[in-house]
Every structure is written in structure tokens, then in C-alpha cells.
Amino acid sequence: MATFCSLRSLLGLQKLVCSVSPFYPMRSYSSSPFGRIGFIGLGNMGARMADSLIKDGYEVAVHDINHNIMKMFSDKGVLTEDLPLKVAESSDVVITMLPSSNHVLDVYTGKNGFLSGGNLLRPRLFIDSSTIDPQTSRKVSAAVSNCSLIDKRDGWKAPAMLDAPVSGGVLAAENGTLTFMVGGPEEAYLAAKPLFLSMGKNTTYCGGSGNGATAKICNNLAMAISMLGVSEAFALGQSLGIEASTLTKIFNSSSARCWSSDTYNPVPGVMDGVPSSRNYIGGFASKLMAKDLNVAAASAKDIGFKCPLTSQAEKIFTELCNNGHEAKDFSGVFRYYYSGKDEQ
């Protein structure tokens, strides 16, 4: 708590960052005690999240191993750096959005990582929005908290880290409507909340370090198992002679109602505007679901917790990927695993 003794008083501080690129229309003024924001990882999600910060008036520096995406940002007037360490050396906050735990470890503790320059850091806050295991989040957070700040101003006595994975997918990242699940020191969460609300519309504080990562893998685990159960029931019903549209009406007015039946129905022809209505293109790729289930299974194994449904779900989505459907939305399990039929 002492680390963040005066941060509450900063939450109302209005900060207008004047050096916004003319290539980006400013959507609103930022309300944050921070200056430059570093962003590492400009994939489908990260690039759109960084864009949201820039549109909200933040001065942003970026890094990615993809030179084409770096050039795209550079052409728009955004500062690009060739190493994560260089981004950290010029930023007050650094946000990472990376594919896996190993990538996070490398960017933080690797040869050219944030901590490779020694124990004195410029950034007061690190935010990792990657979907990784909570054990890695806690390990990296401990390494960050053992460092010191070059400039102990605005009440910050030491650097802090938040794990803040997101829900909502590429469309929510594009529209700035992501949901953030955040673990770490509560005072750091409160200070960072304006940043989250520049990139999303909902934030939930989940408790201590690693709890944001835990919330994300548990959410996706439940989502996967729910989709498998609904898809299995629809496919069985079709095989026994009942149409999926009829089952959908029954599910959605009875105890089987869930997101996978009333919002994200996996049967082509039953619901418009969902991946099943467009040949399972877009949405949440099966390879990402398989990856998240692998993280959940590994996390459970690390603590000796039995997760039979997680293990089975991981096997099914891995098989789906191995059979060439890794880019299809995860609701495609209805067609590609259960051999369910389109609704006519």
C-alpha cells in the first residue's frame, strides 16, 4: 500500500497529451497520471488496442517483431523501437499483448527484455494483457516488484505489475469495448483504470497477482465446455430426428439456456450474425481455444487439481486443429467434430 500511497489523489488528474499524431482523430482527452505508454505485441488484438490509446490522446511507443506492422505504425507518426527494452526506457507504463507464457518471459526477463538493463526501471507500471498461466504472471510480477524506480515521483515507491487479460475478441478490440480481468495491487489497478477504459468498456478487479490470468483461463474453459455440450446435444438431437431450431427454442426457454445457445449458436442456419452463419469464419479461432485449454490444463496439473472435462475439451479442440480447422471459429466443433448438419 505504501508503494501507491498518493495514487488515489492522482485518479482525478486530467492529462492532455498534446503530441498526438495528426493521422489519428482524437476521440477524447485522456484522464491519467501517466505520460508515454509503451505497447509490445501488435497482433490482431494488440494493434487495435494500441490504436485505441492513440485515438484517446495518449503518446504511444510500440514494438513488434513484425516489421510490416511496425512500418504501418511508423507511417502514421507513431514512435517505433527495435527492442522491448528501448520502449521501456522511454515509457511511464508498458502494456504487453503476447501469444504465450514463453513470449512474456522473454520480453520481461530475456536478453533484450524490460529487466535486462538492471534493477532500475523507468516505467512505474507494467500491464500484461496476454492470456497466460497465472504461475508465470506471478513470477514476472515478483521480478518487477523487486526492482526500483529511477524516478520515484507521484507517490510511486517501486514499479508494479498488473495481469489484465481481455475478453471480447478482435471486434471488441476494434471498437474499444473489451472487458479486462485484472489482478495485482488494487491501487495500481485504480491508477490504470483510465487506460483500460480507453481500450474497453468493462473492468473487473479480481484480486492479487495472477488472479486476472486465472479469471481468463477459467472463463474460456467454461465457454469451451459449454459449446461442446450444446453442440453435442444439437448433433444428437438431429440424429434422433429433431431440428436444431426446435431444440434451440426449447433450450432458450428452459434450464439448458446459455450463451452458446442463445447468443453464439453453433448450428448454421439457426442464428444470423454469428460465425456459424458464415462458414465459421471470424470469431474465436479453434487454435486459440486449444491454446487456452492447454494453459488451463497445465495450470491445473501444476497444483495437482483434477480437471477431466478440461482435458477432454483440450483433446477435442486439438484434434479439430490437427484436422485442418485451426482457423475456424471454435463453434465449428459442431460441424467438424460432431458432424452436425446445417439447418435448412
**Annotated catalytic sites, by residue?**
216
Using DSSP's 3-state secondary structure scheme, residue 100 falls into coil
User: Which cell numbers in the block locate residue 62?
Assistant: 510500440
Q: How far is CA 324 from CA 282, 283, 291, 310, 336, in A?
A: 16, 17, 15, 22, 10
Q: Which residues contact 64 (CB under 8 A, 6 or more apart)?
A: 40, 41, 42, 43, 46, 70
In whole angstroms, what separates CA 17 from the centre of its chain? 26
Length of the chain measured in residues: 344
Angle of helix 46-55 versus helix 67-75 axis, rounded to 10: 10
Using DSSP's 3-state secondary structure scheme, residue 91 falls into coil
The DSSP code sequence of 211-256 is HHHHHHHHHHHHHHHHHHHHHHHHHHHHHTT--HHHHHHHHTTSTT
Q: Count the Cβ atoms, other than its own, within 10 Å of residue 93.
A: 24
Q: Which long-range contacts (CB under 8 A, 24 or more apart) does 310-314 make?
A: 310/221, 310/225, 313/221, 313/224, 313/225, 313/228, 314/290
Q: Which residues contact 100 (CB under 8 A, 6 or more apart)?
A: 130, 132, 291
φ, ψ of residue 272 in degrees (nearest 5): -85, 155
Max CA pair span of the chain? 70
Terminal Cα distance for the chain, rounded: 60
Contact 286, 320 (CB under 8 A): yes
Surface-to-core class of residue 255, CB atoms within 10 Å of its CB (0-12 exposed, 13-18 middle, 19+ buried): exposed
CA atoms within 13 A on the CB side of 268: 17
